[in-house]
């Protein structure tokens, strides 16, 4: 049994799914825009507003990423230039974290290198989230695992564009550092967006949980909410979607991100699905109202005299199941007693009174 994890005021792993609004760099380097995004995420019902900490010059080698943006249509230049243009500084991260606290939404941030892990830990983040690009950066994960072991902070790890063996190596790092119990894996497809829904591979959600024994979620890059809803039914306890104020904005991630009304729909759908996942078969109070008229009752097919034996020739099944007798609600004899499985309890028994055709039987009618 995987234990629930504490993330600020949130619990991860229980019935309630944690919804992460991945703001990433959709603030375009503006604190004003960042705060508007936090407000919109909170209003839409998200639990977490997530950002990214880029230590430009420590995450990547300048001049070595020009070939990458051509394969991702939403990017508008070399990665280094994009990061510089949308840079959110260390003081800005502290300010937006404090703003999230004020608004009442949890702040989360992705570190892209080992140094960024310590920076975030020093400013007091309550959890960590790594992108798929860091999945096999074992030195970074070892540092995260060490911090997690010491502090109890959860670490959410995306698993896009990697092999099963690479996931296993990363999980092993957390095992070796004694922090596996704080680990959360999210199924992910690192396409922006994945236009072929077969690439979502949602069946990996229960497999990840079974094979690695950790809480599992879904980091989703599709343009709609369908796969996120399906992920919840498969056991995802965390759902992450990119978030923007408008898909028409220029810059990274806006194109695939949910707008406020779409995030609101996502949260609303997830909350409804959560409570719909019960596995106990019961008759609800509301169903009973329908059952009372929809279920069938053993009913006389013709007049039946007192002392006459009940047979399948003088009885038939008819609605409703319940009736009112002398102002009281009375349940009739279920029609199942006309079937060979149960008929010995009714067929062949004597009528306790004269009954006209279309009389719905109760057990008091059986001598």
Query: Is it the case that residue 65 has pLDDT exceeding 60?
Result: no
DSSP state of 309: B
- pTM equals 0.88
Looking at CATH, the fold of the domain delimited by 285-365 is given as Type Iii Antifreeze Protein Isoform Hplc 12 (3.90.1210)
State pLDDT tens for residues 120-164.
999 999 999 999 999 999 999 999 999 999 999 999 999 999 999
Sign of the CA dihedral running 293, 297, 299, 301:
positive
Q: How far is CA 37 from CA 42, 82, 139, in A?
A: 8, 19, 32
Enter the DSSP assignment of 332.
Answer: P
3-state helix, strand, coil in the chain (%, to 5): 40, 20, 40
The superfamily (CATH) of domain 14-276 is Aldolase class I (3.20.20.70)
Q: Give the DSSP letter string of 226-274.
A: HHHHHHHHTT-SEEEEEB-S-TTS-STTGGGSBPHHHHHHHHHHHHHHH
The pLDDT value recorded for residue 346 is 98
Q: Where exactly are the structural domains of the chain? A: 14-276, 285-365
Taking 80 as the threshold, does the pLDDT of residue 64 lie above it?
A: no
Report residue 321: phi and psi, to 5°.
Answer: -85, -35
CA atoms within 13 Å, Cβ hemisphere of 166: 14
d(CA 266, CA 228): 8
Q: How many CA atoms lie within 13 A of 120 on its CB side?
A: 31
């Amino acid at each position: 049994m995987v234990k629930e994890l504490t993330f600020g005021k949130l619990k991860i792993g229980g019935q309630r799914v944690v919804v992460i609004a991945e703001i990433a760099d959709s603030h375009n380097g503006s604190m004003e825009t960042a705060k508007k995004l936090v407000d919109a995420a909170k209003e839409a019902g998200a639990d977490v507003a997530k950002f990214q900490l880029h230590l430009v010059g420590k995450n990547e080698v300048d001049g070595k990423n020009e070939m990458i943006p051509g394969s991702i249509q939403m990017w508008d230049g070399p990665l280094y230039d994009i990061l510089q243009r949308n840079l959110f500084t260390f003081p800005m991260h502290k300010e937006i974290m404090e703003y999230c606290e004020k608004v009442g939404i949890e702040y989360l941030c992705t570190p892209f290198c080992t140094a960024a892990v310590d920076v975030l830990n020093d400013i007091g983040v309550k959890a960590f989230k790594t992108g798929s690009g860091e999945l096999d950066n074992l030195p970074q994960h070892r540092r995260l695992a060490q911090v997690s072991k010491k502090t109890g902070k959860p670490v959410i790890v995306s698993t896009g564009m990697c092999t099963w063996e690479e996931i296993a190596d990363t999980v092993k790092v957390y095992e070796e550092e004694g922090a596996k119990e704080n680990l959360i894996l999210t199924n992910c497809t690192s396409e922006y967006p994945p236009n072929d829904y077969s690439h979502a591979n949602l069946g990996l959600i229960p497999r990840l949980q079974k094979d690695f024994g950790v809480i599992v979620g879904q980091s989703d890059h599709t343009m709609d909410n369908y796969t996120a809803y399906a992920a919840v039914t498969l056991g995802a306890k965390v759902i992450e979607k990119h978030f923007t104020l408008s898909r028409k904005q220029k810059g990274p991630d806006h194109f695939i991100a949910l707008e406020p009304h779409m995030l609101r729909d996502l949260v609303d759908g997830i909350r409804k699905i959560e409570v719909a996942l019960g596995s106990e078969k019961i008759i609800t109070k509301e169903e009973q109202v329908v059952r009372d008229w929809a279920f069938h009752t053993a009913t006389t097919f013709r007049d039946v005299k007192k002392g006459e034996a009940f047979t399948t020739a003088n009885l038939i099944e008819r609605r409703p199941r319940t009736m009112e007798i002398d102002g009281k609600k009375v349940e009739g004899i279920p029609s199942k007693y006309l079937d060979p499985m149960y008929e010995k309890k009714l067929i062949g028994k004597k009528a306790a009174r004269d009954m006209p055709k279309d009389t719905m039987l109760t057990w008091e009618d059986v001598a």
